[in-house]
């Protein structure tokens, strides 16, 4: 035990000697949670649209005012002919064009019906369809306003309640996701180069001839990073509640415990990468290029997992961040207890044990 502690101490000195790295390791999660918590949203707003108003009459002016007043978009440009549309899209700023026919007002007055065409730049299908939906809603509102709404018989009313997030804030879905992503990447990266660096600089040989067992060497490397991660967890949770207004509905100790478990999973993954690779460059490249995109895309916080094809749904089960995202969302936002997340917890626990075993197995006593 004494031996182990002195090893941990040695690792501590190694890390804390490098002030710059410490600063980055502790500052990175703070900056990221703030940046992404505020900036990322799936909502479509502030989009620029254009109007091709062939009518130029009272009705078209009124509709235009109503479109402009919508909080989802602003009418940024006036087009004068159909041929201008393509160029407007190509320049990239305009996402939707509303085409009003000649005689818009007359049609409405005399025929009781008129045609409006919506042309979306669907190169981003999400933005395209969302804007089409929003614009349709605005136009239907306009139609309702000019019709004398009379009360119809046999009316079914609907009453709508938003659970967990009544103000529909984007941060409620992004904060648990960003937490999973930041913890995962920072922790894995931190440990990924620890062992391999000693291999590369040659100090590993020294350690190996010492009477310490490899298991202890590996664990001693993880301990200081676990402490650093705890600081990160604390700062992330504080920021979410204080700065981003995402409350912790469930038990805070459960949330902290689960975060620590997930941190250990990530550290174990880092250790495995470190003991299986031969150079720092390879280790870092694997832990970043190999983990960044899969973590973002397959953990379920950017894209719904149920939409993915079966093979990817299966692969997503291997992504630790997916499980932590479910846990964080359940405990933090829904306020559920351990009875709701025990399965996910067990999965993370199992992954951790497996990764640690693999890391120790692939850690070779003799170097090449």
Can residue 60 be called a binding residue for other proteins (CB under 8 A)? Answer: no
What residues numbered 87-116 form the site for other proteins, per CB under 8 A? 89-92, 95, 108, 112-116
Cβ nearer to other proteins, comparing 114 with 204: 114
Nearer to other proteins, 44 or 219 (CB): 44
CA distance between the termini of the chain: 30
Binding residues for other proteins restricted to 333-362, rule: CB under 8 A: 333-334, 336, 340
Task: Report in angstroms how near the CB of residue 245 gets to other proteins at its nearest.
Answer: 14
Please enumerate, as own/partner, the contacts of 350-354 that have beta carbons within 8 Å and a separation of 24 or more.
351/265, 351/268, 351/320, 351/323, 352/261, 352/264, 352/265, 352/268
Residue bearing tokens 């690779």: 277
Site for other proteins in 277-316 (CB under 8 A): 277-282, 284-286, 288-290, 292-294, 296-298, 302-304, 306-309, 312, 315-316
Dihedral, CA of residue 70, residue 72, residue 76 and residue 82, to nearest 10: -90
Q: Binding to other proteins by residue 50, rule CB under 8 A?
A: no
Q: Binding to other proteins by residue 54, rule CB under 8 A?
A: no
Among 28, 207, 223, 243, binds other proteins (CB under 8 A): 28
Binding other proteins (rule: CB under 8 A), the pick from 3, 9, 16, 21 is 21
Residue 254, helix vs strand vs coil: helix
Query: Can you tell me which residue has the tokens 């490397």?
Result: 221
From residue 121 to residue 150, the character string flagging contacts with other proteins as x (rule: CB under 8 A) and all else as - is: xxxxxxxxx--xx--x--xx-xx--xx---
Question: Does the footprint of other proteins cover residue 2 (CB under 8 A)?
Answer: no
| Binding to other proteins, residues 314-333 (CB under 8 A) | 315-316, 326, 329-330, 333
83 binds other proteins (CB under 8 A): no
- What the block records as the tokens of 215 is 């298991």
* Residue 118, burial from CB neighbour count under 10 angstroms (0-12, 13-18, 19+): middle
The SS3 of residue 52 is strand
Q: Does 46 bind other proteins (CB under 8 A)?
A: yes
Residue with tokens 């040659």: 202
Helix (H) or strand (E) holding 350: helix 338-362
Contacts to other proteins from residues 194-213, by CB under 8 A: 197, 200-201
Which residue lies nearer to other proteins by CB, 230 or 249? Answer: 249
- Whether 295 contacts 319, CB under 8 Å: yes
- Radius of gyration for the alpha carbons in the chain, expressed in angstroms and rounded: 28
Q: Which stretch binds other proteins (CB under 8 A): 14-22, 203-211, 237-245, 256-264?
A: 14-22
Contact with other proteins (CB under 8 A): which of 2, 81, 83, 160?
160
């Amino acid at each position: 035990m004494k031996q182990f502690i002195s090893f941990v101490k040695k690792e501590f000195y190694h890390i804390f000697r490098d002030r710059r790295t410490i600063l980055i390791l502790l500052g990175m999660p703070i900056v990221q949670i703030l940046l992404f918590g505020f900036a990322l949203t799936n909502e479509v707003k502030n989009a620029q649209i254009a109007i091709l108003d062939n009518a130029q009459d009272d009705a078209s002016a009124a509709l235009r005012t109503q479109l402009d007043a919508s909080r989802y978009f602003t009418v940024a440009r006036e087009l004068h002919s159909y041929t201008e549309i393509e160029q407007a899209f190509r320049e990239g700023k305009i996402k939707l064009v509303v085409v009003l026919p000649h005689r818009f007002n007359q049609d409405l007055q005399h025929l009781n019906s008129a045609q409006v065409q919506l042309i979306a730049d669907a190169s981003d299908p999400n933005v395209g369809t969302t804007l089409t939906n929003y614009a349709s809603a605005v136009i239907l509102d306009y139609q309702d306003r000019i019709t004398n709404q009379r009360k119809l018989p046999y009316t079914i009313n609907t009453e709508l309640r938003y659970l967990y997030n009544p103000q529909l804030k984007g941060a409620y879905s992004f904060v648990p996701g960003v937490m999973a992503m930041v913890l995962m990447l920072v922790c894995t990266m931190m440990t990924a180069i620890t062992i391999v660096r000693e291999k590369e600089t040659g100090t590993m040989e020294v350690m190996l001839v010492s009477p310490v067992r490899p298991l202890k060497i590996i664990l001693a490397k993880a301990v200081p990073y676990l402490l650093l991660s705890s600081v990160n967890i604390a700062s992330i949770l504080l920021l979410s509640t204080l700065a981003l207004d995402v409350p912790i509905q469930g038990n805070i100790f459960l949330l902290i415990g689960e975060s620590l478990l997930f941190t250990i999973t990530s550290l174990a993954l880092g250790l495995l990468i470190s003991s299986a690779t031969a150079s720092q460059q390879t280790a870092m490249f694997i832990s970043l290029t190999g983990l960044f995109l899969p973590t973002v895309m397959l953990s379920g916080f950017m894209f719904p997992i149920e939409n993915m094809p079966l093979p990817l749904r299966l692969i997503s089960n291997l992504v630790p961040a997916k499980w932590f995202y479910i846990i964080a969302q359940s405990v933090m936002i829904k306020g559920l207890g351990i009875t709701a997340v025990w399965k996910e917890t067990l999965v993370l626990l199992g992954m951790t044990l497996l990764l640690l075993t693999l890391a120790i197995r692939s850690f070779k006593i003799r170097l090449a």
